[in-house]
Structure 1
């Protein structure tokens, strides 16, 4: 398990959050996962994260889930698996990972600020074969400005790593300069890469991806993510054009990871 101690964006946490009426539902049975099969657990050589299907063969997650920070390189792709809708002994679909594109500015930006690290903490994974509509439906990315209001977090995590938890009633608190977003949702180790959904006229859209949680003394715990539309669009273009680009390592395209600062927040990948 990796811990990155931080006082992440301490200035953003000076105002205490208002307690929301939050409901946390464990999706422990196959029937309860219906409609959420597009969210799944990503297994890597260093632990597990949460990922979300955004196309038949594309999964969105946090970049730090698939990167060895000490080596500034992508983890072995051959050992990665995406389990869509994993619920105990049921999985809607399991696929290997064929290609990874990281958000531009993540690897190689040694002097990157924490803001840059969070807003670029995104990875797009291409599966070795598409997931069929009979197995799981992908979710779309929310492409408009997000006002403060209710959101839904769906994630795996420590103590519930074989079933999804759906948290309704937590709220988007702020979007700061640079696209960093804060939510008063319950996150733990294994929740990295989890989708934050907004209900847009009856349709669920992904508004952010969990990058880390705040650990500022005296402040309420917050989930911290990033704005998605521009970065995800750029990664999808890179994925389509990857045949014309040289790979960084087996199965991974180089796009650039920020230096892990010792001041900031807690990232969470591996769980027990």
Structure 2
């Protein structure tokens, strides 16, 4: 397994605050959730992940959430639903999924390196109808260089799958060749696909999507994600091009993207 004893897939979202210490808050009521409604629980039919609105009808998540690891095939979209701002049975908006676009570089399973697994572990989902701005606002992707520093995570996960948890003040530790990014945020099973945010002059921007967690005896636990602009830009162009063509069927496209070892992938199964 290389320098990792095991790697488990997960992902989380983040918060706007700039704090000197890590804090974890459960967003258990609508008042606490205000401004975070664009982060939601993605119900897959066989488990759950976290996803984020990046346009009124587009959700960004991890590719391994929507791809069968054994066969490498994209899962059927029919049973999937995105619940924006889901909290204890209540949601700001609930939508079905009509199209899934997965980055071509993503490899399910196999003996790929950690960088190969993570750098294109992204998927874009088209909703069956737009989410209104009165329900939830989309987040923008951060397109500038990212310095090491504080970030925020918000996610669903094992033991807290009915409301978001926000972790403030964890750190972006580094960005490596191939776009792999590491964070010291506390991640858990079932959080795959959630966003990592930075605060850019008072505005929240998504800087990464958590793909994996590494945990090695004697080492600090790390959350692992990827650089977004190139891959997300390509996914969005392919989604727009596909929408302009006459529809044939609901399914998935794989698209081309540009260019430290790996393991198993998991989502929460309720």
Do the aligned partners of residues 102 and 63 (structure 1) sit closer, same or farther apart at CA in structure 2, a change above 3 Å counting? same
Q: CA RMSD in A?
A: 2.4
User: Which string of whole-angstrom CA distances, capped at 9 and with x for unpartnered residues, describes residues 79-110 of structure 1?
Assistant: 10000000002100000001011112115896
Range with greater deviation from structure 2 (234-243 or 92-101): 234-243
Q: 2:267 aligns with which of 228, 247, 269?
A: 269
1:233 is aligned to: 233
The aligned runs of 1:118-197 (5 Å cut-off) are 118-197=118-197
Per-residue deviation, 1:113: 2.6
| Contact in 1 for aligned 2:49/2:156 (Cα 8 Å) | yes
Q: Count residues with an aligned counterpart.
A: 253
Do the aligned partners of residues 7 and 53 (structure 1) sit closer, same or farther apart at CA in structure 2, a change above 3 Å counting? same
1:54 is aligned to: 54
| Contact in 1 for aligned 2:107/2:116 (Cα 8 Å) | no
| Contact in 2 for aligned 1:7/1:214 (Cα 8 Å) | no
CA distance in 2, matches of 1:248, 1:60: 23
The aligned runs of 1:25-174 (5 Å cut-off) are 25-107=25-107, 112-174=112-174
User: Which string of whole-angstrom CA distances, capped at 9 and with x for unpartnered residues, describes residues 110-158 of structure 1?
Assistant: 6643211101000000000000000000000000111100000010000
Do the aligned partners of residues 248 and 110 (structure 1) sit closer, same or farther apart at CA in structure 2, a change above 3 Å counting? farther
Per-residue deviation, 1:241: 1.1
User: Which string of whole-angstrom CA distances, capped at 9 and with x for unpartnered residues, describes residues 34-72 of structure 1?
Assistant: 100000000112210000000000000000000001111
Normalized against structure 1, the TM-score is what? 0.86
Do the aligned partners of residues 70 and 267 (structure 1) sit closer, same or farther apart at CA in structure 2, a change above 3 Å counting? closer
Range with greater deviation from structure 2 (245-254 or 169-178): 245-254
| Contact in 1 for aligned 2:46/2:269 (Cα 8 Å) | no
Per-residue deviation, 1:166: 0.5
CA distance in 2, matches of 1:7, 1:70: 24
CA distance in 1, matches of 2:136, 2:21: 30
Do the aligned partners of residues 248 and 181 (structure 1) sit closer, same or farther apart at CA in structure 2, a change above 3 Å counting? farther
| Contact in 1 for aligned 2:69/2:108 (Cα 8 Å) | no
CA distance in 2, matches of 1:221, 1:269: 19
| Contact in 1 for aligned 2:63/2:123 (Cα 8 Å) | yes
Range with greater deviation from structure 2 (106-115 or 228-237): 106-115
What stretches of structure 2 of length at least 5 have no aligned partner?
7-19
